[in-house]
Structure 1
């Protein structure tokens, strides 16, 4: 794909702003570098802000990724990017690639950033123009996250030649109006966060205390559980689960993944950037109702009950309930924050970010065992509560999506001259 005179944008602005130029004619464009992580002197006692490509998601970059030393500046090809200049991410997962941001600090940057230094007082119009071209800029390279943009592609981006006074009117208008929309979006996102906090609190309470607030309690003798209903039991996981270690003959079964956000799901339904082996023979079978635990990320809550038959990585562990605990209750337990903290305590490793939960450790954990009818009642009550919460969550997500669409349309309309100047100054 190329951004040329046949682009849809030029059909919108050719009568109003017919003159245009490539970005490389209007600005200095360059990238930096990442000082070697193997040289501790580059990072120890750092004093200079340094950013990676992910920081473009700040919009206005004020928080560096890290600090680098004088030695790193002297001995590597990382380059200073001045406050006020624009940056575009040349690569990155999700929305990062092609996203533009403005620097709120002087900083050094890595090789996956393209710094656009126009050196004038009207970088904001250029910021909004490049923001409006987000999809087109991404389209200069493959949608594959591993296929990045390069300096030549960035330099080829067409820029309209617009009177400086008009640039300022448009930029001021968009700064003002997008801030208002962003404020509304932030409020709705906070409501989503509150819903998630309420969900987590509900799960944590009902799996350890049940539904009856008047029920007599007793000490569980487990710090993570605290007091539990007097008629509940506490059992070692060894007495509640067995290991399922059945292997796929040819790896043809559906591949499942386990995350701390969604539990056990089909990998085909998720955007996963981790390497996937071509040959999955020997992968572990996982049946509906089995507890699957991502050994490496269990400490973050990457576990849950599988709703599907399939296979998981041989590095995962799969457990089958002996019948004392209902699968649906176990799934709620896996989403409970105290339980996740207890899993982290039983996970072993040298580094806190590289802990692993092995069967011998999992089996030593003590778990609550309510009567079956109470487990079923807890599951039903949570489903009713979450049905209402999910409806509100979907409404908020739709509202956020519409607001983002409105924001994008407003930017496009303003930078292509579709909004009268008198309206933007009114």
Structure 2
């Protein structure tokens, strides 16, 4: 679709905005808007909670239009707290959260809401600025805006209110704001639909991936072999020539060790040291990425920390990371922190098969429940599986390696498509809200004809 430009432009006076159409204003936000903050009523007083007033916090900011929240206040809760009622049509903005490292979440409230202290409502004079236009402008200039308004050096990322009030943004006449907002609503909806298609494909690929692994490690590759009852609850029938064994008979489990802060963050020592957040940074082959943190062999001996060999299978044993069920492998000898556990397979050439086998474990079902889920060695070591002979393990491993490679390639293609679509979405929004393109004559019928 070819979109025209405006006839003339002028310097906005703001370096990161560049030029804007000559007839557009570039006001400061404080000249057009008022700001409403929020607060949290006492959690010790149940009469303040579970009422009818939506109480919006950063965790609720998952869509552009917002009318409800996970938690609600009573009228009394609103009255006795620092929270205020925000009428429909304000721009809600997260002003304190780790997400501000890369995104400023914004939404327009469709119903009256209250806010917690990590939120801010920006209320515009209706005859000067449309909330949907400003929302799109924030989306189009996320990175520049983060650099302009976020407080530097804070423990938790936050937007400095004084900086936000002083922000200048391009403002066309009200009819143009409406045309731009309507154009972007239509175009972003098309892009979002394409993104959702790719996400559904990724979800289907993940389901198929797990199903292929499950069938291979529980039924084998030959559908004609005789079957027998495994005698293990939930496992069902398995090939008759397979042997049921507990994990503890296939290798040994060891927990990570506690390392004082002064022993962490060192570089250049002999042993890698992995903390639980490393589980989210593995390569496509399942091996942990190289760690910048290292410790010496002497330190490991002094602290009686187990040194896990290459190809050990490692995973979380406490905290929210446990529920994710991530199983990774070590490429080099390493120590783990005390939130992790590792499994050293007895037969060195079987670790890849055992990792596929362990991927069937539902860590969320076997973990000790509570505010902080946990797992001890006996809970996982006593799990029973049906095990084929070494030759069959190797055949299954090669088959799964090939299947997973194809699945991961398709997933990577879908993820790349999502990235391109999101980049196009951001570029389109940025161009429209700064006047780099003129969308005034582009109604739905005109767009379809183009």
TM-score norm. by structure 1 comes to 0.85
Structure 2 partner of 1:135: 143
| SS of 1:20 mapped into structure 2 | coil
Structure 2 residue runs of 5 or longer lacking an equivalent are 1-11, 293-298
Structure 2 partner of 1:98: 104
Distance 1:69 1:161, change over 3 A: same
CA distance in 2, matches of 1:267, 1:149: 34
Task: Name whichever of 141-150 and 61-70 sits farther off.
Answer: 141-150
Aligned residue runs from structure 1 range 320-331, under 5 A: 320-323=344-347, 326-331=350-355
CA distance in 1, matches of 2:208, 2:201: 10
Q: Is residue 391 of structure 2 the alignment partner of residue 391 of structure 1?
A: no
* Post-superposition offset of 1:167: 1.0
Select which of 62, 78, 81 maps to 1:76: 81
* Post-superposition offset of 1:423: 4.4
* Post-superposition offset of 1:211: 1.4
Structure 1 residue runs of 5 or longer lacking an equivalent are 270-278
* Post-superposition offset of 1:71: 3.2
Structure 1 partner of 2:6: none
| SS of 2:92 mapped into structure 1 | strand
Structure 1 partner of 2:339: 315
Distance 1:358 1:264, change over 3 A: farther
1:11-48 alpha-carbon deviations (Å, 9 max, x no partner)? 3206342x3211111111122013343444433x3322
CA distance in 2, matches of 1:76, 1:264: 50
Structure 2 partner of 1:62: 67
Report if aligned partners of 2:23, 2:172 keep a CA contact under 8 Å in 1. no
Structure 1 partner of 2:288: 265
Structure 1 partner of 2:399: 381
Distance 1:174 1:143, change over 3 A: farther
CA distance in 2, matches of 1:357, 1:265: 21
Structure 2 partner of 1:6: 14
CA distance in 1, matches of 2:116, 2:75: 16
Q: Is residue 33 of structure 2 the alignment partner of residue 27 of structure 1?
A: yes
CA distance in 2, matches of 1:300, 1:248: 22
* Post-superposition offset of 1:143: 8.8
Select which of 289, 294, 301 maps to 2:316: 294
Select which of 184, 187, 193 maps to 1:177: 187
Report if aligned partners of 1:97, 1:148 keep a CA contact under 8 Å in 2. no
* Post-superposition offset of 1:219: 0.9
| SS of 1:13 mapped into structure 2 | strand
CA distance in 2, matches of 1:261, 1:204: 24
Task: Name whichever of 354-363 and 176-185 sits farther off.
Answer: 354-363
CA distance in 2, matches of 1:344, 1:221: 23
1:211-245 alpha-carbon deviations (Å, 9 max, x no partner)? 11222111111122111111111112222222346
Structure 2 partner of 1:203: 213
CA distance in 2, matches of 1:145, 1:403: 33
Report if aligned partners of 1:324, 1:369 keep a CA contact under 8 Å in 2. no
CA distance in 1, matches of 2:135, 2:205: 34
Distance 1:178 1:299, change over 3 A: closer
Distance 1:144 1:331, change over 3 A: farther
CA distance in 2, matches of 1:116, 1:267: 45
TM-score norm. by structure 2 comes to 0.81
Report if aligned partners of 2:317, 2:339 keep a CA contact under 8 Å in 1. yes
1:361-404 alpha-carbon deviations (Å, 9 max, x no partner)? 22222122221111111111111112222222222122111111
Distance 1:345 1:183, change over 3 A: closer
Structure 1 partner of 2:92: 87
| SS of 1:218 mapped into structure 2 | strand
CA distance in 2, matches of 1:206, 1:132: 47
Q: Is residue 243 of structure 2 the alignment partner of residue 233 of structure 1?
A: yes
CA distance in 2, matches of 1:299, 1:183: 30
1:28-83 alpha-carbon deviations (Å, 9 max, x no partner)? 1122013343444433x332211211333312223413122333212211222222
Per chain length, whose mean CA-contact separation is higher, i.e. which structure has more relative contact order (CA < 8 Å, sep 6+)?
2
